[in-house]
Chain A
Amino acid sequence: MSETTDLTPEGPAAVIETDYAIGQDNIQPKLGPFGLDIHNPVFMISGLTIVAFVFFALALPEVAETFFGWLRPAVTSTFDWFFLLAGNVFVLVALVVMLSPLGKVRIGGMDAKPDYSYGGWFAMLFAAGMGIGLMFFGVSEPISHYTSSLAEGAGAPESWAPLAGAAGDEAEARRLGMAATIFHWGLHPWAIYAIVGLSLAIFAYNKGLPLSIRSMFYPIFGERVWGWTGHVIDTLAVFATLFGLATSLGIGAEQANAGLDFLFGLPVNDVSKVLLISGITAIALVSVIAGLDAGVKRLSEINMVLAAALLLFVIAFGPTLAILTGFFGNLGAYVEYLPALSNPFGRDDANFSQGWTSFYWAWWISWSPFVGMFIARVSRGRSVREFIFCVLLIPSLVSVLWMTAFGGTAIGLLTEGYQAIADAALELKLFTMLDQLPLAGLTSFVGIVLVIVFFVTSSDSGSLVIDTITAGGKVDAPVAQRVFWAIFEGLVAIALLLGGGLGALQAAAVSTGLPFAIVLLLGSFALVKGLLSEPRRR
């Protein structure tokens, strides 16, 4: 199946010999004046399925709401043990691969040089996958877990507190709340991204297979991945990515609208939201037309600088000492509660483990084809050990710091009696917190800009990923195609925002987490198998 070929000067890699030629199933239709280069049938099937789903949600909103309103909790509650177990497997596989001799394998061949500097690479990792969530949940999630843990009756079956809660004990509720939040934003999500990203990178850059989700499964399905098995995997990936992006865009527009109302009194209505979605889509369009280096990377870097500035501001002007000591305290709490929080069986906190953890895991998994593929594309030249260290451990530490600075400060304010932070709507909690620090107008404005630009960087990188998958792994398909996907995503978001059904489609996106969790478990196996055949330095 594979042999080590000397590909000087980048060094040996175990290229897979397959009869499949990239682009062999592609068709080049002319659509008006635009020449296209698309995979047949993945492009058509995913495009039409998405259109059909949107029509279904618009035409029969109640049926859609009821069905998906049932499906999502059914998936995350029934299979909570499976999601939790799979999440633990991904973390373990990632750590074992990093520490084992397999960590010496280099993406792109033994002598490959990194394409991007650490700065640009990190910026893109965060901007694609998590930035937007950190903005919204950085304050709101720690507050939620803290208040539910502290509340009377925490630990009772109807409580939403993590584990047994800490009723009446402020210090312990704080530790537990922070540990639970960091659990959702730490090792587990990044391990999911790392596994998908690493698999795709190895199978594309070392094995020479097309950059598409199906290539991960070559060790399992062999040549069948080029047939319907692969079409289904790729279509599912496009579906999860587009719905994930479109629903986030729709829900995000609602949240950005609320923030702008809070700051500038922008009316909260459909017009504002449609304008926000159009604006975000327009910037994303400029970015995809400018390309990976001039568009996506540059925006990601701007975003990282702004986010770092906001973080440093909160550390400097918030309770500096409490944040710095809290960082280590929270890290300790995370390590202490990690075994209990990640335990898949015999949980007494069903609301928390199913409603929060299992939902998050399904959500991260449904985003993993998109984020993983984007990470893979920009990671050529990194060693496997470096890749996992930088995609798993460093982002987890950044999450701990971010949550400590935003969530810890917010909890501190709450314990000092600033009740407004607990009463504020979810999307306003960040601004309510910033309101208590100096220069609130400026920092809130930076917050809004960050939210919007994080959406842009998710939208443009997502469009690149969908375009590559639907072009059969070609990254040089005509630019008109990525323009199409970026606009399509905005239109789906607008249609669902106006017609209702955003919640239903988010549920649909999250539900794809279940098949993907199975697929990713197989993928972890394929990854290890693929890495074992790679040559590595002694």
Chain B
Amino acid sequence: MYEKIMVPVDLAHLDRLAKAIATATDLARHYGAPICLVGVTAETPTEVAHTPEEYAEKLKAFAAAQSAAQGLAFEAAAYPSHDPAVDLDATLIAAAEEQGADLIVMASHLPGLPEHVFASNAGAVASHAQVSVFVVR
């Protein structure tokens, strides 16, 4: 039913990602679909990488490690952004289209008061993406 599953990844907070990856892995096995890990980075140096290129390398290494651990195909795609605090959702939605993903599995924190004003990332992606979105809490 699904051709490609996209999982947005925050390399700075890998600890919050385990459940989303586990969910995506199960679905990927079930549908025989590859997983594409998508990371969005600022172009300025970040806590993860000095440059967007270094970020892309790290994401690739993370995908390779996941491939080896799960015995599944994990692709990696890094997207630089001018202002990730604001542009993250739009960048992820565009990435899903560009990567040809038809399912997005993404982690989310528990919604609180701010979500009434600013949509959470997972919420915004779910509202605006053309494809199915699986929000993992």
Contacts and interface: CB of A to CB of B under 8 A. Distances in A.
A38 B13 CA distance: 17
Contact of A9 (B47, B53, B82, B87): B53
A292 interface: yes
A209 B43 contact: no
Interface string A12-36: 0101000001111000000011110
Given A293-B83, A476-B46, A33 B113 contact: yes
Nearest to A203: B45
Given A7-B54, A15-B50, A477 B85 contact: yes
B71 interface: no
B66 interface: no
Interface residues of B, number: 23
A7 B53 CA distance: 6
Nearest to B10: A476
Contacts of A482: 85
A380 interface: yes
A211 B114 CA distance: 27
A479 B86 contact: yes
Nearest to A200: B44
Nearest to B88: A476
A348 interface: no
Interface string B1-44: 00000000000100000000000000000000000000000111
A465 B114 CA distance: 23
Residue with the greatest number of chain A CB neighbours at <10 A, chosen from B43, B44, B51: B44
Given A22-B47, A208-B50, A480-B114, A475 B42 contact: yes
B113 A210 contact: no
Contacts of A21: 47
Contact of A474 (B47, B112, B113): B47
Interface in A188-214: 204-205, 208-211
A475 B44 contact: yes
B45 A292 contact: no
Contacts, number: 86
A115 interface: yes
Given A33-B113, A33-B114, A292-B83, A474 B51 contact: no
B84 interface: yes
Given A7-B51, A7-B54, A211 B44 contact: yes
A291 B85 contact: yes
B42 A293 contact: no
Given A291-B85, A293-B82, A115 B45 contact: no
B47 A377 contact: no
A482 B83 CA distance: 12
A251 interface: no
Contacts of A50: none
A380 B46 CA distance: 15
B50 A290 contact: no
A204 to B, nearest CB: 5
A473 B45 contact: yes
Contacts of B45: 22, 204-205, 208-211, 473
A205 B47 CA distance: 14
Interface in A128-156: none
Interface string A283-311: 00000011111100000000000000000
Contact of B44 (A24, A109, A204): A204
B116 to A, nearest CB: 9
Contacts of B54: 7
Residue with the greatest number of chain A CB neighbours at <10 A, chosen from B43, B87, B118: B43
Nearest to B45: A208
Contacts of B88: 476
A73 interface: no
A198 B43 CA distance: 16
A476 B49 CA distance: 13
A291 B84 CA distance: 9
A10 interface: yes
Residue with the greatest number of chain A CB neighbours at <10 A, chosen from B45, B46, B82, B87: B45
A478 interface: yes
Contacts of B53: 7-10, 109
A476 B114 contact: no
B85 A479 contact: yes
A462 to B, nearest CB: 15
B38 to A, nearest CB: 16
Interface in B68-109: 82-88
A476 B43 contact: no
Contacts of B52: 10
Interface of A: 7-10, 13, 15, 21-24, 32-35, 108-109, 115, 204-205, 208-211, 289-294, 377, 380, 473-480, 482
20 contacts: A7-B53, A9-B53, A15-B51, A21-B47, A32-B113, A108-B51, A109-B51, A115-B82, A208-B51, A210-B44, A211-B45, A290-B86, A291-B85, A291-B86, A292-B86, A377-B44, A475-B42, A476-B85, A477-B85, A480-B118
Given A22-B47, A33-B114, A204-B44, 7 more contacts: A8-B53, A32-B113, A109-B53, A291-B87, A473-B45, A476-B42, A479-B86
